[in-house]
């Protein structure tokens, strides 16, 4: 492989800076790609700053990757040199446990290999993510993207898209259901688009009333300011399902009060600190608190194909790599419309 270049964090407190490293050559079932676009997920920020305690430095973030295939191993079937491939949050797994056999590689019992800051199963090196000029991945963990969609706006589907599509499908969100989406950020705006597209009555719950007009344009039937107790009370006991994408610590009780009898709130946001829960909020409506994590390879491809058929992409602000530290600061201020995507040609 040619020399790899990217942006890396070297510890939990400093900015990302240019960084050179090497990747191994692709094996028989692997492809090498030139990264064209990479989305900026809030998980990249949590990881770069070691908020979950599992960072390995130097850490090159990035797991919403769209790129051009530059090399393909002799046994590769899905991709050809010159074609487009997309890579998400995981890049390998044991490939033989029950979840892997079912195509739920993200629940691999031996642990899936993350796109960055994880031990590569092939050579034991530490994986480096998509804030870089290239990537090497097994074709099983790479996806085809619908040719009618804009490549920059597709990149966020590889994490924000599948992480919201999968739970909305799993909990049967659709016509006749009232569904809430907490947080209008990268994940939230995709959850909103999908819930609307699946035919549910979709309510955007936000702490930023200035996002109201946008939420309506993105498909919300209603928008509720979650810090306004009266506005929240007006919806008490009416939701079948709520998807919580909030990135910062927050109290679940005001949201639990919105659920109907037997309603479910599914957490996908991963704040640094876990929420405290008032058990009375659960028992009084037999409510469920659940969690969900990205999606397996077949469901990720299903989601991409669904987006192609329904013309769904992320609403993106494309940035040069040199603005990545500024983008991180803006994420913390909830100032994103609604996903930053790095144009990797700016790395040259
Ligand atoms: P993001 O773009 O920064 O959006 C997060 C949104 O959360 C904000 O825009 C804000 O929306 C809302 N929010 C922030 N603080 C809040 C608070 N105190 N109370 C209520 N809402 C609050 O982040 P993202 O990239 O969508 O990621 C969201 C979270 O999901 C992160 O923690 C990330 O690590 C996690 N994640 C999980 C998975 C998974 O597999 N489970 C996958 C990817 C990401 P408003 O301004 O509308 O309130
Ligand atoms: Zn992510
Ligand atoms: Zn497995």
Instruction: Give per-residue pLDDT as tens, 80-104.
Output: 999 999 999 999 999 999 999 999 9
Residue 40 is predicted with a pLDDT of 98
Task: Tell me the C-alpha to C-alpha distance, in Å, between residue 35 and each of 22, 69, 126, 136, 346.
Answer: 15, 9, 18, 10, 11
pTM above 0.95, yes or no: yes
> Does the CB atom of residue 162 touch ligand 1 within 6 A?
no
- How many A from CA of 97 to the centre of ligand 3? 4
What is the overall mean pLDDT for the chain? 98
Percent of the chain with pLDDT over 90: 99
Q: Nearest CA to 324 among 296, 302, 347?
A: 347
- How many A from CA of 57 to the centre of ligand 1? 24
Please report which confidence band the pLDDT of residue 4 belongs to, taking 50, 70 and 90 as the band edges.
Answer: very high
Residue 348 is predicted with a pLDDT of 85
Q: Is the pLDDT of residue 1 over 90?
A: no
Q: Is the pLDDT of residue 323 over 90?
A: yes
Q: Nearest CA to 315 among 146, 186, 196?
A: 186
Task: Catalogue the E-assigned strands of 123-258.
Answer: 134-138, 142-143, 178-182, 201-206, 222-225, 239-244
Which residues are CB-neighbours of 253 under 8 A, at least 6 positions away? 277, 278, 281
Closest ligand by atom to 92 CA: 3
Distance CA 282, CA 144 (A): 42
Average pLDDT over residues 264-293: 96
Please report which confidence band the pLDDT of residue 2 belongs to, taking 50, 70 and 90 as the band edges.
Answer: confident
> Does the CB atom of residue 315 touch ligand 1 within 6 A?
no
- How many A from CA of 328 to the centre of ligand 1? 13
Closest ligand by atom to 270 CA: 1
């Amino acid at each position: 492989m040619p020399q790899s270049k990217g942006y890396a964090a070297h510890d939990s407190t400093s900015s990302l800076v240019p960084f050179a490293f090497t990747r191994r050559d692709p094996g028989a079932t692997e492809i090498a790609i030139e990264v064209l676009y990479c989305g900026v997920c809030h998980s990249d920020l949590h990881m770069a700053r070691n908020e979950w305690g599992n960072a390995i430095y130097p850490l090159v973030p990035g797991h919403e990757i769209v790129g051009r295939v530059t090399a393909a191993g002799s046994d590769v079937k899905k991709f050809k040199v010159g074609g487009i491939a997309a890579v998400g949050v995981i890049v390998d797994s044991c490939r033989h446990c029950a979840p892997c056999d079912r195509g739920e590689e993200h629940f691999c019992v031996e642990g899936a290999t993350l796109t960055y800051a994880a031990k590569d199963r092939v050579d034991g090196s530490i994986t480096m993510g998509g804030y870089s000029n290239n990537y090497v991945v097994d074709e099983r963990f790479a996806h085809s993207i619908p040719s009618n969609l804009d490549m920059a706006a597709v990149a966020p589907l590889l994490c924000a898209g599948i992480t919201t599509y999968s739970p909305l499908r799993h909990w049967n969100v659709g016509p006749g259901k009232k569904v809430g989406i907490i947080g209008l950020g990268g994940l939230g705006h995709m959850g909103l688009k999908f819930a609307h597209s699946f035919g549910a009555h979709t309510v955007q719950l936000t702490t930023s009333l200035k996002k109201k007009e946008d939420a309506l344009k993105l498909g919300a039937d209603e928008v509720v300011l979650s810090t306004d107790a009266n506005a929240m009370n007006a919806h008490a006991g009416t939701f079948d399902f709520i998807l919580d994408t909030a990135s910062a610590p927050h109290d679940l009780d005001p949201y639990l009060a919105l659920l109907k009898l037997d309603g479910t709130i599914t957490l996908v946001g991963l704040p640094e600190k876990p929420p405290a829960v008032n058990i009375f909020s659960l028992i009084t409506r037999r409510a469920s608190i659940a969690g969900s994590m990205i999606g397996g390879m077949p469901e990720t491809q299903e989601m991409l194909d669904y987006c192609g058929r329904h013309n769904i992409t992320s609403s993106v602000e494309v940035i040069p790599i040199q603005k990545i530290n500024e983008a991180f600061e803006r994420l913390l201020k909830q100032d994103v419309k609604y996903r930053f995507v790095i144009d990797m040609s700016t790395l040259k």
